[in-house]
Structure 1
Amino acid sequence: MIVMTVVGSGMAQLEEATIILGTQGRARRAYSRAINHTGDIVRNEAGSALSAQTGLPKRTGKKAYRISGERSKPDTLTYVVSGQGGDIALKYFKARETKKGVSAAPRNARRVFASTFMKAGWWPKRVGKPNWNKQVFIRSGDGYKYNIARNNPHGAKRVRLKTNFRKVKSGVFVPQEMVQGLAGEAWRKGAQRLQPRVEHEVRAMTKGIVG
C-alpha cells in the first residue's frame, strides 16, 4: 500500500470555529463538510492529472481514485483515496498494430514495441480475434527442434515447437502514479483550498453573521 497524507495546520482554526459556532461538534461538522467538498473537487482534478501523466483515458484516471475511498466524518476529519492494481496492460494506451509491432503511448510517449501483435493472419489480411479482447501479445517459446529416429540419425525431421503468447505490459502502476508527478501535485495544491472552504462553511452555519 502506498499512502500520501496531506496535513494542514488547522487546529488553531478549529478552536476558533468552536468558539464561533458554540460547540466543537458544530465546528467538526463544518470542517467535515469543507474537507469533503474540497476532497471531491481535488479528486476529480487528480484523476485528470493521472490520465495526463500516464496516457490513460480520462475516465480511467478518474475511476482510479474511486476504488475504495473514505469520505470525512465529524469524528474522523479524514478524506482517504486509495488505488490498487499491478502493471497495466499495453492495450489501454491507444494501442494499434503496425507491421513492425504494436504502436502504443504509455506516459504519452508513443513508440513501437517490436515483435508484438494484436491480430492474426498474414499481412495485409490481418484479422482481430474476438476472444483476444484487443490485448497486445508477444510470442514466447517459439522455435524449432529436431526429432531424430533412434535407428536413423540421418533422417532428422524439423518440428515446430508449440508457440505461447503472453500479454505485454506497460510498466505503468496506478498506485505509484497517484502520488507522484501531476497527480501528486494536484493533491498538494488542493490542500491549500481547505481553509477558505472552512470559512465558507462557518459563514453558512452562522447564516452569514460571521464574516
Structure 2
Amino acid sequence: MSTIRVDLDGDGLTVFGHALAALGDEAKARTALRRTVNKTTAMAYTRVKRALAKQVGAPQAKIIKYGDVRRIPAQGASLSSRIVASGGYMPLKHFGARRTRRGISAAPWGKRRVFRSTFFVQKLGGQVFKRLPGQRDAIDKLWGPAIPRELIQGETAAAFELAAQMVFPKELNRQIEGLASGAFK
C-alpha cells in the first residue's frame, strides 16, 4: 500500500502555536488545524486523481477501482490525513487496447505501443495475453502500471505537493479567523 500523508510536525508545531495564540484555546486551535488538514487533503486528492489518470493513461474511474485510491481524513485529536492506494497492476485491456496485425496496441503510461504477438481472450474477460515461448498451451496475462507505485512518483507526487503548499496556509488563516470571530463552531 502506498500512502501520501499530511502531518504537522517541525514547522507544524510553530503553526499550532500561532493558531493557539490567535484563538486562545487549544481545542479550537486543534479543530482549526484538523479542518485545515482535511480540506487540504480533499483538494489535493482531486488533483492527485487527475494527475494519476494522466500519468498512467487510464480513466479516473478505472484508477480508483483498481488502485483502491481513497482519502482518510484526520479525526479526533489526530492531525494526520492520508491519501492511500492499494492493489496490484492494472490489466492492459484498460489502456485503450485494440487489435492490430502485429499484436495488441495499448497506451499504458499514456504512450501507445504495439505489444507484438499478443491477443485478446474473450473467455477470460477480454484480457490481453501472450503465448509463452516454447510452450504450446501456456499463456501469460499482460499488465500495465501499478497504481500504488505511481501514486508516490512523478506528476502525481508533484500535484500533491503543489496543492498542499497552495491550500494549507490560506485555509488555516480562514479557519482561525472563522473560529476567532465565532462564524465557525
Q: TM-score, normalised by structure 1?
A: 0.76
**Are 2:146 and 1:173 aligned?**
yes
Of 87, 90, 95, the residue aligned with 2:89 is: 87
**Which range moved further: 134-143 or 52-61?**
134-143
Bigger relative contact order (CA 8 A; separation at least 6)? 2
Aligned to 1:81, what secondary structure does the other structure show? strand
Aligned to 2:82, what secondary structure does the other structure show? coil
**Contact 2:37-2:74 within 8 A present in 1 as well:** yes
**Are 2:148 and 1:182 aligned?**
no
Report deviation, 1:14: 1.2
State the identity as a percent.
29
Report deviation, 1:6: 4.9
Match of 2:72 in 1: 70
Q: Which has the larger radius of gyration?
A: 1
Give the number of the structure whose residues are more often helix, by fraction. 2
**Are 2:95 and 1:103 aligned?**
no
Which letter does structure 2 place at the counterpart of 1:185?
Answer: A
Aligned to 1:76, what secondary structure does the other structure show? coil
Please give the per-residue CA displacement for 1:96-131, whole angstroms capped at 9, x wherever unaligned.
Answer: 111210000011110110110115xxxxxxxxx3x3
**Are 2:178 and 1:204 aligned?**
yes
Which letter does structure 2 place at the counterpart of 1:24?
Answer: E
Of 144, 166, 169, the residue aligned with 1:195 is: 169
Structure 2 unaligned regions, length at least 5: none
Counterparts of 1:97 and 1:174 in 2: how far apart (Å)? 25
Report deviation, 1:165: 2.4
**Contact 1:64-1:83 within 8 A present in 2 as well:** no
Report deviation, 1:80: 1.2
Structure 1 unaligned regions, length at least 5: 120-128, 144-160
CA RMSD of aligned residues (A): 2.3
Match of 1:146 in 2: none
**Contact 2:23-2:29 within 8 A present in 1 as well:** yes
How many residue pairs match? The answer is 180
Counterparts of 1:109 and 1:173 in 2: how far apart (Å)? 16
**Contact 1:65-1:81 within 8 A present in 2 as well:** no
Q: TM-score, normalised by structure 2?
A: 0.85
How has the CA–CA distance of structure 1 residues 52 and 83 changed in structure 2, closer, same or farther, with 3 Å as cutoff? same
How has the CA–CA distance of structure 1 residues 68 and 207 changed in structure 2, closer, same or farther, with 3 Å as cutoff? same
Match of 2:131 in 1: 139
**Contact 1:139-1:164 within 8 A present in 2 as well:** yes
Aligned to 2:159, what secondary structure does the other structure show? helix
Of 39, 45, 48, the residue aligned with 1:46 is: 48
Counterparts of 2:66 and 2:40 in 1: how far apart (Å)? 18
How has the CA–CA distance of structure 1 residues 63 and 141 changed in structure 2, closer, same or farther, with 3 Å as cutoff? closer
Alignment of 1:13-24 (within 5 A): 13-24=15-26
Please give the per-residue CA displacement for 1:64-105, whole angstroms capped at 9, x wherever unaligned.
Answer: 776454211241100112212223221111111112100000
Counterparts of 1:63 and 1:200 in 2: how far apart (Å)? 34
How has the CA–CA distance of structure 1 residues 87 and 33 changed in structure 2, closer, same or farther, with 3 Å as cutoff? same
Report deviation, 1:10: 2.4
